[in-house]
Amino acid sequence: MKPVIDHPWQLDIDAAWALQRELAAKVRCVEPGPIATVAGVDVAYAKDEMVLVASVVLLDAMTLEVVEAAEAEAAVQFPYVPGLFSFRELPAIMAALEKLSRRPDLVVCDGQGLAHPRRFGLACHLGVLYDLPTLGCAKTRLVGEAAEPASARGSASELVDGEAVVGRVLRTQDGVKPVDVSIGHRITLDAACDWILRLTPRYRLPETTRQADQRVRRRLAALG
DNA sequence: GCGACAG
DNA sequence: ATCTTGTCGC
**Distance in Å, residue A143 CA to nucleotide B5 C1':** 8
Binding positions of A for Mg(2+) are: 42, 110
Spatial distance between the Cα atoms of A184 and A196, rounded to a whole number of angstroms: 13
Domain map (residue ranges) of chain A:
27-223
Whether residue A99 is predicted with pLDDT greater than 90 in this model: the reply is yes
In the structure, what pLDDT confidence band is assigned to residue A145 with cuts at 50, 70 and 90? very high
CB A122 within 7 Å, strand B = yes
In the structure, what pLDDT confidence band is assigned to residue A221 with cuts at 50, 70 and 90? confident
> What architecture does CATH give domain A27-223?
2-Layer Sandwich (3.30)
Of the candidates A213, A106, A197, the one whose C-alpha atom is nearest the C-alpha of residue A149 is A197
Supply the pLDDT for residue A47: 78
Whether residue A224 is predicted with pLDDT greater than 80 in this model: the reply is no
Supply the pLDDT for residue A49: 78
**Mean pLDDT (chain A, rounded):** 96
Of the candidates A174, A147, A146, the one whose C-alpha atom is nearest the C-alpha of residue A159 is A146
Whether residue A6 is predicted with pLDDT greater than 90 in this model: the reply is yes
Which DSSP letter does residue A5 get?
S
